[in-house]
Amino acid sequence: MAKVGITALERGSARLLEQGAVCFSWLGAGPLMAARRTEELLRAALGVPDRIPYADKRAVRSGLPESAAERAAEVTELHARAVALAAWPESLERAPCQVVDHVEVFGLAGVPAAVGSVTELAPGGVVSGRLVAAAGPDLHLATGVGATGAGVTAAGATGGGATGSGATGVGTAGVVGTATGATGTGPPATGATGTEPPATGATGTGPPATGATGTEPPATGVTEPRETVVVLDTRLMTGWELLPVEADELTVPVKEFMKAVAVVQDGLF
């Protein structure tokens, strides 16, 4: 999943961190209008959207490839196609492909994949857990046996309006993507099992053989408590109280992640 967007040059990668971009590369730098024309060029010529719903981003983020090279592959390929376009604006200076990976910054490395996201906070509801990662506005919370931490309790919520600012001055057209690779599940490995016939030996009239006999204790293993990771959008938390909790609890609606489908939606970038 990849998108194209613009941001003020002086902001650097701050906008990409705010948007939760797993990896990105700068595409070029120049005047704001040239950057906007480049953005439109990629939409028309390559079918690259400039907006992707957060719900789709979250679903893709829950199944990222393990290696940085795999995550960067889609952005690298798209960058090469973009800078080769004949209609590239003359006033926009092309930038080399240098993929920046945010997996470590977000704390996503080695974290269990999220299974779903909180859809709403309701009066009397509680969502608590251990913060394991944060990407853009999203908190990844490990809930389950043994997870303790701070919880959001729904008590007298009040609403608040979102505010934002637009990029001004020099614009930068950048390729921003959450690179994904093919994933799949194979059949579980199986091995031959069976029961061997009991061993038999010769018997005779001699004295019976004697030796130490005993019973082996059954093999035992330690079952580790398993945690489930869910995503909480911090924009849902306006007006709710953040309180300490003694035990893990999740009593708010959670929507399970399905396979993401890129849909253009206004107002997200």
- Beta strands 116-118 and 227-233 are parallel
Residues 163 and 153: their CA atoms lie apart, in Å, by 24
Please state which of the ranges 4-8, 98-102, 141-145, 262-266 shows the lowest mean pLDDT: 262-266
Domain assignments of the chain as residue spans, ordered by start: 2-158+170-182+227-256
For residue 163, pLDDT over 50 is answered with: no
CB contact set of 171 (below 8 Å; sequence gap of 6+)? 6, 7, 8, 9, 30, 31, 32, 33, 34, 35, 36
Please name the helix (run of DSSP H) or strand (run of DSSP E) that holds residue 130, with its range, or none: strand 130-135
92: left (phi over 0), alpha (psi -120 to 50) or beta: beta
Largest CA distance in the chain: 105
- Residues 39, 3: contact at Cβ < 8 Å? no
More confident residue, 173 or 64: 64
Q: Please check the confidence at residue 132 and state whether its pLDDT lies above 60.
A: yes
In this structure, of 13-22, 39-48, 161-170, 196-205, the range with the lowest mean pLDDT score is 161-170
Mean pLDDT, the chain, whole residue set? 74
User: Could you tell me the pLDDT band of residue 148, with boundaries at 50, 70 and 90?
Assistant: very low
**Joined tokens for residue 11:** 């902001």
pLDDT at residue 176 in the model: 40
Q: Estimate the share of the chain in helix, then strand, then coil, as percent rounded to the nearest 5.
A: 20, 25, 55
pLDDT at position 143 is: 87
* Residue that is written with structure tokens 């990662």 in the block: 133
Averaged pLDDT, 150-174: 39
Six-digit token string for 60: 């893709």
Residue range 81-89: mean pLDDT, rounded: 94
pTM, whole model, 2 decimals?
A: 0.66
CA distance 108 to 105: 8
Give the pLDDT band of residue 226 (cuts 50, 70, 90): low
Please give the pLDDT value at position 35: 95
**What's the pLDDT band for 259 if we cut at 50, 70, 90?**
low
Residues in a beta bridge with 100: 24
Residue 243 has pLDDT above 60, yes or no: yes
Distance from C-alpha of 262 to C-alpha of 192, rounded to nearest angstrom: 44
